[in-house]
Amino acid sequence: MRSYGQYCALAKALDVIGDRWTLLIVRELLIRGACRYTDLRNGLPGIATNLLADRLRELEEAGLVAREDAPPPIATALFRLTPRGAALDSVVEQIGRWGAPLLASAPKSDAYCGHWLVLVARHALRDHAPDQPPIRIELLAGEEPVTIEAANGTVEARPGAADHPDAVMTGSPRLISAVLRGEMKLARARASGLHFKGDADALRRVQPLVVGPKAHDDASTDERRSTP
């Protein structure tokens, strides 16, 4: 691992996390928690297996990742973030917010994994009705579904299918992300190809209260017609 050799906190941080793929490995571990090497590789389209091994070793040496042996029947090594590594969550969130406008011009050929919506949900959604019964929303933007759960004022998101979801959204990551961030109303997203089934109030419960400029393009009557 090369160093900038500068007495600067930013430079010292980049000495550790500034290499190619490093923060994307952190992204995967923030989403999945402890996981296998193969899970990490599957969530990092385009990475060479030897490079992933090198980056994991460097992160272990830096104290950001720990390796542990999983009990049977898994019987393989699991990788997880240490508390120091998990503290990068807010860093990843802010970089993601800064990069979000760049998605508008992203090529359609860009690879995408459905479980990446976990971070969008965690960072964008809030439970605005904590006194109401818990709700579950399932997102499908690829092979792996994502479950959002809102209860008691908190929102949790994880990879995997929801048990008896109150609503299911299926479509492109662009549309689902825009709806979750409040940048596009549900009616406009459905007209653009998003499939929505279930209770629209469950979705509105967790969406940002202040919607983005694009969301104002839709009339309120369109929003009412979007409710199943």
Q: Give the residue from 118, 54, 64, 72 showing the smallest Cα distance to 88.
A: 64
Mean pLDDT check: name the lowest of 45-54, 112-121, 202-211, 214-223: 214-223
Answer yes or no: are the C-beta atoms of 149 and 135 closer than 8 Å.
yes
C-alpha distances (whole Å) from 161 to each of 77, 114, 140, 199, 201 are: 25, 12, 9, 17, 20
Q: Compute the average pLDDT of residues 177-191.
A: 94
| Tokens encoding 198 | 């279930």
Mean pLDDT check: name the lowest of 41-50, 69-78, 106-115, 157-166: 69-78
Answer yes or no: are the C-beta atoms of 147 and 160 closer than 8 Å.
yes
In the chain, the domains with their CATH numbers are 9-105 (1.10.10.10), 114-226 (3.30.1050.10)
DSSP H/E element including 36 = strand 35-36
Sequence length of the chain is: 228
Please write the tens of the pLDDT for every residue from 60-82.
999 999 999 887 777 789 999 99
pLDDT value for 212: 52
For 61, residues 6+ apart whose C-beta sits below 8 A from its C-beta are 1
C-alpha distances (whole Å) from 74 to each of 126, 160, 202 are: 35, 18, 36
Classify burial at 102, counting beta carbons within 10 Å of its beta carbon; exposed 0-12, middle 13-18, buried 19 or more: exposed
Q: What is the mean pLDDT of the chain?
A: 91
Q: What is the DSSP string of 102-162?
A: GGGG--TT----GGGHHHHHHHH---S-TTSPPEEEEEESSSS-EEEEEETTEEEEEES--
Residue 226 pLDDT class (50, 70, 90 cuts): very low
Which pTM does this prediction carry? Answer: 0.87
pLDDT over 90 (residue 214): no
pLDDT value for 219: 33
Helices (H), the chain: 9-17, 22-32, 37-42, 49-61, 83-86, 89-99, 117-124, 173-180, 186-191, 200-206, 220-226
pLDDT value for 125: 97
Answer yes or no: are the C-beta atoms of 177 and 120 closer than 8 Å.
yes
